[in-house]
Chains A and B, each alone.
Chain A
Amino acid sequence: GENVEQHPSTLSVQEGDSAVIKCTYSDSASNYFPWYKQELGKGPQLIIDIRSNVGEKKDQRIAVTLNKTAKHFSLHITETQPEDSAVYFCAAAGSQGNLIFGKGTKLSVKP
């Protein structure tokens, strides 16, 4: 079955700097790759996603890149702000729709 690895587990940046979180997946049949932000005591909130027919997607300060050959995808947050501090999860999904999550990255943005 699918396995998703996520790095780093913790990331601390200064406000205004960029943050990059990387994930790899094992199942070449996976075709959907969402990123979720989880704040304390809340459910995962989708922040951006990418499908396998696209290599890059951007939404304001957030971008995701996908390399299907290497089976890895990355989240890029530019001009980080303190409110970006949260746990970020990558995930991969196949045709059945079930998401396999990475272990999460705790991002801390220092003012």
Chain B
Amino acid sequence: EPEVTQTPSHQVTQMGQEVILRCVPISNHLYFYWYRQILGQKVEFLVSFYNNEISEKSEIFDDQFSVERPDGSNFTLKIRSTKLEDSAMYFCASSVGTPNYGYTFGSGTRLTVV
């Protein structure tokens, strides 16, 4: 069964450092998403991406965040200057189309900011 692949599975970084989280969506999917889940809390929408541009973003997705699809297969989330409160699980997802056909999540990257 096709999977959304995320790397690394765990990233530890110092406060103020930049991090890049990587995702390989399912190959025929056209819509890409990032979500985060602070420990013990609900999954929160960050950003959606379609046709090489952001289609929607939440209040969480401020100027410290950016997304990119650099090479047609990877989908990255960059946090420019990490804060302690950025510590969370970050999930990538992709879907064939909207509304939400074949929506699939990756297994996540645990980001720990120290």
Binding site for B on A (CB under 8 A): 31-32, 34, 36, 42-46, 49, 51, 89, 91, 93-104
Contact partner, A44, options B44, B91, B100, Cβ 8 Å: B91
Contact partner, A97, options B41, B42, B43, B95, Cβ 8 Å: B95
Q: Can you list 9 A-B contacts with CB-CB less than 8 angstroms, sorted by A residue number?
A: A42-B108, A43-B105, A46-B105, A97-B31, A97-B95, A97-B99, A98-B58, A101-B43, A102-B42
Give a binary string over B41-66; 1 marks a CB under 8 Å from any A CB, 0 the rest: 11111001010000110100000000
Q: Interface of chain B, helix or strand or loop or mixed?
A: strand
Contact partner, B56, options A31, A91, A96, Cβ 8 Å: A96
Query: Given A32-B99, A34-B100, A98-B33 in contact, is the A43-B42 Cβ separation under 8 Å?
Result: no
Contact partner, B104, options A32, A46, A97, Cβ 8 Å: A46
The answer to whether the Cβ of B107 comes within 8 Å of any Cβ in the partner chain is yes
Contact partner, B107, options A42, A49, A95, A103, Cβ 8 Å: A42
**B56–A44 touching, CB < 8 Å:** no
Scoring B91, B99, B104, B107 by chain A CB atoms within 10 A of each residue's CB, the highest score goes to B99
**A98–B99 touching, CB < 8 Å:** no
> Smallest Cβ distance from B103 to chain A, in angstroms?
7
**B42–A93 touching, CB < 8 Å:** no
Binding site for A on B (CB under 8 A): 31, 33, 35, 41-45, 48, 50, 55-56, 58, 91, 95, 98-100, 103-108
- In the bound complex, how far is the Cα of B58 from the Cα of A37, in angstroms? 23
**B99–A51 touching, CB < 8 Å:** yes
The residue of chain B having its C-beta at the shortest distance from the C-beta of A52 within the complex is: B99
> Smallest Cβ distance from A35 to chain B, in angstroms?
12
**A31–B103 touching, CB < 8 Å:** no
Contact partner, B55, options A34, A93, A96, Cβ 8 Å: A96
**Residues on the B chain within 8 Å of A46, using CB:** 103-105
**Residues on the A chain within 8 Å of B56, using CB:** 96-98
- 10 smallest A-B Cβ distances: which pairs? A43-B105, A97-B98, A32-B99, A101-B43, A98-B45, A103-B42, A96-B56, A32-B100, A43-B107, A101-B42
